[in-house]
Amino acid sequence: MKDEIKLMKGNEAIAHAAIRYGADGYFGYPITPQSEVLETLEALMPWDSTGMVVLQAESEVSSINMVYGGAATGKAVMTSSSSPGVSLMQEGISYLAASELPALIVNVMRGGPGLGTIHPSQSDYFQATKGGGHGDYHLIVLAPSTVQEMADFVALGFDLAFKYRTPSMILADGIVGQMMEKVVLPPQRPRRTAEQIKEQCPWAVTGREGGRKRNVVTSLELDSAVMEKNNERFQRTYREIENNEVRFEARFTEDADYLIVAFGSIARICLKAIEDARKEGIKIGLIRPITLWPFPYDAIRDAARNVKGILCVEINAGQMIEDVRLAVSDSVPVRHFGRMGGIVPNPQEVLDALKKDFINK
């Protein structure tokens, strides 16, 4: 069968991919630069085709709590937003993690802090990978760098969320959300039947059909000894995810004298800088973490073994650099280069930064 190639924005690809995954529900609230997700879903009217529920909520707080309610019933439900809206969702995300519920959250990042700017940024790295809400929890965080990955990570995000019963997040940025490029959409999958949900999610709140014992989804436990046990169970899941689900892309690392670590759209700009540098005889490799949590510490440590320096390029003030430093300890100098306020650096700026830090010192 010929691939179905389309030209569309990353945000639109998310919407199409959600329907084609067989998602049961989307609950969202408009915010730039990701409103096309909700707009596309409303225009496609999937409730008439697959039966998917789409609802514009009154706030991001309600969106994430609708996701919480839907996820508690075993349905594949999601939301999307951008940075300020995702801040509002942190309470609900913490509840999802604590109640061990699968769900997909998309953050198409814009510059902050505060209302900030509508232009692209990667400054929610800490929020996404280190917790964000209250309590000891992690999200599985996927960082797409292409519109294709925006589409593909919907299925991956849902599948991982259901596999580990924990929410996952697509941490995109305004560039990959707004950029149009070619994308091969996945084939349409059927939504799971009530029977399949019962089998896959015996914990789901679906009504006590057949007189089964009642199911209760709650994050509350006042007995500290039990609550500690619950936390230990969460942590075991996180260790399992760390062992099994690390994903990254390595380019030109075999003979590299320098290493760039970058995620999302900026990794593509770095790749251009790396190609330009090769023409000048400067050998730079690239590690692009695809899962920001779990973070590819080992891959970076291995790739850094023979390099003279690591440049961490992020569209923020330096957040992922802390994980890169953890990966390599003090074995090699690590520097950060980034722009803020919604400004995206070009390949020349990246290369100049690397030269300034490591070559023309």
Q: Which two tokens stand for residue 158?
A: 């849902």
CA distance 195 to 174: 39
For another protein, give the closer residue by CB, 207 or 341.
207
For another protein, give the closer residue by CB, 104 or 142.
104
For another protein, give the closer residue by CB, 24 or 149.
24
Q: How far is the CB of 291 from another protein (least distance, A)?
A: 28
For another protein, give the closer residue by CB, 148 or 206.
206
Q: How far is CA 241 from CA 244, 269, 291, in A?
A: 5, 29, 11
CA distance 310 to 247: 19
Q: Which two tokens stand for residue 339?
A: 């722009």
CA-based Rg of the chain, rounded to a whole angstrom? 21
Q: How far is the CB of 132 from another protein (least distance, A)?
A: 15
Q: Is the peptide bond before 33 cis (omega within 30 degrees of 0)?
A: yes
Q: How many residues does the chain have?
A: 361
Q: How far is the CB of 250 from another protein (least distance, A)?
A: 41
List residues binding another protein (CB under 8 A): 24-25, 27, 53, 55, 57-59, 61-62, 65-70, 72-73, 75, 77, 91-92, 95, 205-211, 214-220
Q: Is the dihedral of CA 38, 41, 43, 46 positive or negative?
A: negative
Residue 331: partners with Cβ closer than 8 Å, 6 or more residues away:
304
Q: How far is the CB of 83 from another protein (least distance, A)?
A: 21
For another protein, give the closer residue by CB, 102 or 289.
102
